[in-house]
Amino acid sequence: MFQGSCLCGSVRYQFKEIAGPYVYCHCSSCRKASGSAFAANVAVPSSDFNLIEGEALLSCFESSPGKRRYFCSKCGSPLFNKVGTAPALVRVRLGSLDSPFTEPPAAHIFTSEKAPWYEIQEGARQFPAWPKPEALAVPGSRQGTTDVPPGAET
């Protein structure tokens, strides 16, 4: 069982399984939403994702049509997002996990938008934009949709 929480501990969640590989996304939207060089999100089946405390403290921001980013209204911690094109999955921010997680990323995506001050050093594959789904599927994302505005990739 994986457990996670916001910075102040007021919002807590848990889940059992991760649905597929995850990536580090370097798009400008993910960088701004995470406040870092990239976002690291894992896909979790919606039916397996449980808020165990603080649901009333959750706030939501629709960063692009159909994409909602959820965060704690008390401390501001980004926790997860939901994409309208993939309602069966929740994308959980790895940085909010309290449980140990040691899986490496499958790839870096949107490296064409990478922060100039960050140098990718690990051996994971790199893609300048979305990889073709047959090369690497990114569960719960907008991969393969044609209605994605610039800066709203994952």
- The pLDDT mean for the chain works out to 90
pLDDT bin (cut points 50, 70, 90) of residue 38 is: very high
The better pLDDT of the pair 150, 140 is held by 140
Write the pLDDT tens digit of every residue in 82-91. 988 888 999 9
Instruction: Select from 109, 68, 62 the least CA-distant residue to 87.
Output: 68
C-alpha to C-alpha distance for 152 and 6, rounded to whole angstroms: 23
